[in-house]
A and B are shown apart, each in its own frame.
Chain A
């Protein structure tokens, strides 16, 4: 379904309402679209443009800047292998090479069964656990070649149900109950905050 589903439209409205300006919801909505379809479609980006009040090309302009947004279909599991300095020193490049040989693809490519895409990524903030990788942005620390083979095997055989398909990030969403909301502060709301006034701090 290329445009956002009804459920996602409801979520989108909730997300937009949390920001003072609708355009600030652009990246969160792109993530939502990618979660729905596995990658970003032109139709989804056009729909998002309507929702936040910009042109489709502005949406593409933002989306194309960020690594996580995939404009073409990817595998069910996107395997990000870090080769930056801390991982390079502990065998990260060799791990990537092993992944390429094992899966028969180069970084950026997807296996013909549609299961795996590998990426050669920059630092994923697990440096003391090198070498490391992510599968759909879930961490796997201190992975040796045998560990990689086991992981691939588990994913192929469906033994790992804890990793959702590419596109889904957090599986818990923020929801702000209506009765607890303080409300978005618009840039035009130029009154001094109530608690600052109360403290008599006019020139804080």
Chain B
């Protein structure tokens, strides 16, 4: 299926100016999936989602249907938490879905609650997204008034409240257990898994499903059109479509809903219907395939498909669907530092290897960039990295409760493996500068 033929599963209303209104939603098939679901059993809905092989679109790529099935039998109540805390550098899609098609998301939330038996849902929107909060508040108000949410939905015995709630500025809160902590009114520090898998012990220690905005937004289409229609698209381990943001040194940066699993990185970066190639037709230096946590890819990876297993095996991840392109003019040291600095700033502070380690990684890189690098610094960077992520392997091991610490290691491993000469050059320059300082005071031969 060519790039331009892809059905727009989740961005179908984006071209309408009033895409976020209930009127437009109802006029374009909105809430049909909900009606269909109410006419069938919750288990039937769960089965359909499982059959669709809908992977989570937040970053981890865990199958949604499987996650739903992890809730322990006969343990009630259950909660649903929507992860709208999009903060991974390079990622720009959930904000678009929340601003432009909030009803699609709401319908997805309702379908999930119906299927899993969640009695209350919390729609957690990133604090810095004022317009998204506004659009969702308005959409919730309209949907309640129309009878789609609340007590006895559309006259059925399905009842659920969907509560809009806010973040307040913390990347780590995008991690599902940290999000739950935040929702409980605490500092957003992750919990150890096991035992605190949210499906088992989540919000208020009850079984909780945490799903990403884009994941839930796929549900209405899947229920209306069927799992088979969804699995007809994509590749075996990556079904359907997915939104990818292509940013950095490209001619037409943008967010593109493309067929998952078969579209390639080359399609995304170079196709005229996507990012249109590199600025000034310069050459590619490196690209980040899946958000700041992902190891970098290079020219030889361009023809890989956007397919989960292939990309994992090639040493990186599709993550949050954020492709960041760096051309030949990019300073690898500077780019590496900026990504590491992000993780150092956003570390929640709970685990020593991350809190101390990311801080040191940033400081060492900063002094290399500033011209004070030492010959031992590159080994030191790798040593600190090894303390956070043993073996600096892929997939990463972690000495920490959550993967933020090991994520900081990704750009270092990539940049040092491929662009070591750039680091060495700066360190050599620093050495030269130190050696060439003229002696201001002659050494005294003797001193009385």
Contact = CB atoms under 8 A, between A and B. Distances in A.
Interface of A: 18-21, 23-28, 30-31, 52, 54, 61-62, 65-69, 80, 83-86, 88-90, 122-130, 134, 136-139, 169-177, 179-187, 189-196, 198-204
Contacts of A138: 130-131
A198 B152 CA distance: 13
B246 A85 contact: no
A170 B134 contact: yes
10 contacts: A18-B161, A88-B335, A123-B88, A127-B92, A129-B92, A137-B130, A176-B150, A190-B77, A201-B41, A204-B43
B447 to A, nearest CB: 46
Contacts of A172: 134, 137-138, 141
3 nearest A-B pairs in the assembled complex, by CB-CB distance: A67-B169, A66-B168, A26-B185
A127 B89 contact: yes
Contacts of A23: 184-186
B150 A180 contact: yes
Contact of B335 (A27, A52, A69, A85): A85
B42 A31 contact: no
B77 A185 contact: yes
B73 A182 contact: no
A197 B89 CA distance: 44
B188 A123 contact: no
A198 B42 CA distance: 10
Contact of B185 (A52, A84, A123, A199): A52
B156 interface: yes
Contacts of A52: 185
A170 B254 CA distance: 26
Contact of A199 (B43, B126, B247, B325): B43
Contact of A182 (B43, B160, B164): B160
B326 A192 contact: no
B103 interface: no
B322 interface: yes
Contacts of A129: 92, 253
Contact of B127 (A54, A123, A169, A184): A169
Contact of A65 (B87, B126, B187, B339): B187
Given A66-B188, A83-B338, A123-B90, 18 more contacts: A19-B163, A23-B184, A65-B188, A88-B334, A88-B338, A89-B335, A122-B87, A123-B91, A128-B247, A128-B255, A137-B127, A139-B131, A180-B144, A181-B151, A182-B151, A185-B77, A187-B206, A194-B159
